[in-house]
Structure 1
């Protein structure tokens, strides 16, 4: 697997240090962010002509998405669906649930923010204060170095080469917490922390604090030692819209803006392109899963530099671009080879999006 990721990094991202100009959108005057109703299929739209985009490039974008095994796609501009971009293909429909894979890590990050806002947890507190000692196989003094923030930033120091299991026997010490970045399934222990602190099941607390207040559908299910979320494409867009709106849904603050600012900013000094389970574009360097190598250049050089993203296995994508007022969703099968979330597809897809919004 490590060899696979090295090949992907070299072949697919070798040009990432090259500069790339992204298109500027001719935007109308600032207007209030639009939020769709909680219990209705109604969702206002804005036309491509209103935005001044290049309508001739919409069909090539949709054809490329269909060719690359996509299932659902849509673009929001300041909360409204860009007319013509919402598309379901390859046997999918607007009502079909699809898995988020690791893009759902950002749901866990957001829930950590909500729990902290409510005074239930503190992310700088060690995990064993919530779960008790012995939740890993690390020596006690090393286990006690691991904080909730380490789980959110992939810096637990636990061995990422032992598979995705998160029972104690699978969690072995490799380095002191905070000194090594490694993409590791141990982040799901954050869900256990929140469950313990709230005295509720993870599902119940998630539904009451995040899913239902923004009108999402979907549920969590267990798959390959992980808790995975599945929803419709529009529900992923609802979550992206709440994040774009700095944690608000209408007049309700779901998660604090302060926490989201931290979550979407470089969170440690090892992988500049990683926040609290969010991937960050426009940084000087980045790391990838399954390797300790550092690569020069922006994560997705064809995308706007201020973009941050939830990226999941086999090309589940949630892009948030504040400067362009965009939230973009792509669900589906792997565009090309199987991957952990980032792939060459991101670069080509953004070149197609740029052609549309130019």
Structure 2
């Protein structure tokens, strides 16, 4: 495996975790950069921008603080704008931002750090057109959580405890008073908001929601375009209907196994219905022209699933192998 540059986007609260991850990634042959490498006095924004441009892929740490960090959001938006592969990993329970919810992230909270790290390495290799590697057991061991230190803070002395209790009781009574005084106003405001939301649901969008099919949402996108208020919701709904992952051959030489349904042109503008015969890109929706075998992304020896003609899938990444074009897909239940 050639040396590939990885940029780590994270929150400072997760520094100890990231240091362990960086060390493990470097053992796998990656060249890893994170902002601890910035020299004192160096312009921060310029350095971040340069390193993002130089990176071959980005690893995003998803945690309670990182998803709320404006710096992290800026880094990922810039990376997506550069069309860099973004590989999110979830290290604790948190709300994944809407823009990243469509991306396939590795959930360390479910897989565990060891299996999660192996999956991350193989996802990076796939997105960087590198061969799959075996990750030795125990390569990545995250530090123990330090959240328990919050429980070690000093308890208030008995002398001030009564005053604290009295203050809390007074605060509760004040809140109850305010709520009672404003309940009618809040109720009216809520009713108005419900009425406004109901007015925003057009008959066409309501029809698409009720049908809840890939073709129904695609039809809505065809008719209303990317500037419609429900465009992103339609895209997200399509992804919800495609919960499975697999890898299949898009084309080999002049033989094509798929046709595009939804894709973007060279300027990033959304194009519908007319196929441009170009290699697909991440985010495209494609339809099988003939039976296509889709292989498990984690176990190539597992029995393949056949995507039947007419079935649609979403392109997550593209890989070239000689004259063959392979795509990692998310696809619906067969």
With the shorter chain as reference, the TM-score category is: under 0.3
- Length-normalised TM-score, structure 1: 0.23
- Which of 1 and 2 has greater Rg? 2
More helix by share: 2
More strand by share: 2
- Ranked by relative contact order (alpha carbons within 8 Å, sequence separation 6 or more), the top structure is 1
